[in-house]
Structure 1
Amino acid sequence: MLAIAGGKGGCGKTTIALGVGQALGTPTRRSLVVDTDRDMPNLHRRAGVDPTPGIADITVSAEPTTVAKRATAVENVDVLPCQDATEAAVDNAIGTLPQRDRPVVLDCPAGAGPDAARPLRAADRTVLVSAPTRQSLTDTAKTAAMARALDAPPVLTVLVGSDGSVDPSRLLSCPETVHVPSVSKPLESDRAAAKYVEIANVLAKRNT
């Protein structure tokens, strides 16, 4: 499982999660993007689906793949919203997510608190998302340290709204960076879509 994490809310984690999910998915092997942010559950809005059913509705007889809905804002992606989910419901959902049959992307809460730690414990790798500002990068460094401590090492930094002039590698100790330009509709822009594919290619390379 891949965690999309960062230090500040509003830096573009959810959009990156959906864009990467689209780049990793195919018509026959759709990605599953899961909202794990109980305080700001906005994946369903970005994906263009209803907020329910979602994580709170997962049971023994209703597994994640049967509850998930097809995103309308991106292709080849199913989403699990987090509306009205308790901590226990998030833990249950993460524990029952499919591990092998499709790419799974966790849209994490911002920061380095207990809620952000929950999905990172289950993830295999982390993509750090930040704005190209000192404050955002400093906060993201705390998230990076937590991801390493929880055995979900950061493999890539994504700077959103970046012209490529900022190098976060020394602060975040992350091997590679992808700069996503500022565009008005990031899930519809060809420029942004090319960056999502670049992210997916870096992930594939670092998984070999």
Structure 2
Amino acid sequence: MIAVAGGKGGSGKTTTTLGLARALSRRGAPVVAADADWDLPNLHRLAAETPAVAEAASSVGGRGHVSRRNGERSHRTDDAAARTVLDAVREGDAVRPDRSAPTVLAAPDAPRSVDALATFEALDGATPDGAPVLLDCPAGASPDVAAPLRASDGALIATPLRRAALRDAAKTAALAERLGCPPLGAVVIGETDVPERVAALLNCPVLGRVPDGGAAPLADEAVRKAYGDLARRLGETAAATGWQVA
């Protein structure tokens, strides 16, 4: 299980979680991407608003409906990909991700009544061996980020190339290390030219350089290619040992 973490909000964690999940899926991996940012959940909404998941939902006959979460409208489908993280571990049936598109799990409807750490640990046990599992973490080094970090085997640190953002990302990377979730690498968002000192600051290699894709980055071919390169490099790390990736 890989925690996609970062500094403050807007660091590119959610886009990276979904972009990487789709890239791994394109390589034949049965991927699960789960929203671990339960106070500000938007992973499932991003997935529903971008074509790849919408096409996958229509191909299996999923019917869309609109639900309201934290005062915001979020489009969800009625197939397995629309389940919440809590649904997935309570149903007593293993999560069986499809290889054609990532399985995206939304945040629980009443997160404050849920034991987050126990839920993420149960999710790890409910997914098949060899299936990459990505957790879209809360921003920064807040108490809420501790549960997904503790449950994960390693962290992927997403950050823009700005001084304040890098400083916050370094704090998050250090917290992940303390919680037994070593940073596997960093993903720099919005830039392709990254100074060598960034790896030294974050104490991990830069595995991904994602260009600015504008308002809809996951629809940009250069961004898709960058996440494809990230999937390949991440697959070469020790944390990916046993992943079913072509």
TM above 0.5, one fold? yes
Alignment correspondent of 1:34: 34
Q: Does 2:213 correspond to 1:188?
A: no
Contact 1:64 1:93 in 2 (8 A): no
Total equivalences in the alignment: 202
Contact 1:132 1:162 in 2 (8 A): yes
C-alpha distance in structure 1 between counterparts of 2:110 and 2:233, whole Å: 33
What secondary structure, in the 3-state scheme, does the structure 2 residue paired with 1:187 have?
Answer: helix
Alignment correspondent of 1:57: 87
Alignment correspondent of 1:94: 120
Q: Does 2:16 correspond to 1:16?
A: yes
Contact 1:58 1:93 in 2 (8 A): no
What secondary structure, in the 3-state scheme, does the structure 2 residue paired with 1:191 have?
Answer: helix
1:60 to partner: Cα distance: 3.6
C-alpha distance in structure 2 between counterparts of 1:11 and 1:173, whole Å: 18
C-alpha distance in structure 2 between counterparts of 1:63 and 1:8, whole Å: 35
Question: Structure 2: any 5+ residue segments left out of the alignment?
Answer: 49-74, 242-246
Alignment correspondent of 1:112: 141
C-alpha distance in structure 1 between counterparts of 2:206 and 2:133, whole Å: 21
* 1:16-69 alpha-carbon deviations (Å, 9 max, x no partner): 001111122259642100001011100111110518641343454354627x8x
Larger CA deviation: 83-92 vs 158-167: 83-92
Question: Structure 1: any 5+ residue segments left out of the alignment?
Answer: none
Change (3 A) 1:141 1:28: closer
C-alpha distance in structure 1 between counterparts of 2:194 and 2:30, whole Å: 34
Identity of aligned residues (%): 37
Larger CA deviation: 195-204 vs 170-179: 170-179
1:177 to partner: Cα distance: 3.9
Change (3 A) 1:179 1:58: closer
Larger CA deviation: 193-202 vs 81-90: 81-90
Change (3 A) 1:144 1:59: closer
Q: Where do residues 65-76 of structure 1 align in structure 2 (5 Å cutoff)? A: 65=95, 76=101
C-alpha distance in structure 2 between counterparts of 1:106 and 1:8, whole Å: 16
Give 1 or 2: higher helix fraction.
2
Look up the equivalent residue of 1:95 and give its one-letter code: E
What secondary structure, in the 3-state scheme, does the structure 2 residue paired with 1:3 have?
Answer: strand
Q: Does 2:141 correspond to 1:140?
A: no
Change (3 A) 1:202 1:44: same
TM-score (normalizing by structure 1) = 0.86
C-alpha distance in structure 1 between counterparts of 2:89 and 2:189, whole Å: 36
Q: Does 2:132 correspond to 1:103?
A: yes
Alignment correspondent of 1:77: 102
TM-score (normalizing by structure 2) = 0.74
What secondary structure, in the 3-state scheme, does the structure 2 residue paired with 1:127 have?
Answer: strand
* 1:53-108 alpha-carbon deviations (Å, 9 max, x no partner): 41343454354627x8x8xxxx6211110152425253343122226141100100
Look up the equivalent residue of 1:12 and give its one-letter code: G
C-alpha distance in structure 1 between counterparts of 2:88 and 2:235, whole Å: 30
Alignment correspondent of 2:60: none
Structure 2 counterpart of 1:171, from 201, 218, 225: 201
Contact 1:64 1:96 in 2 (8 A): no
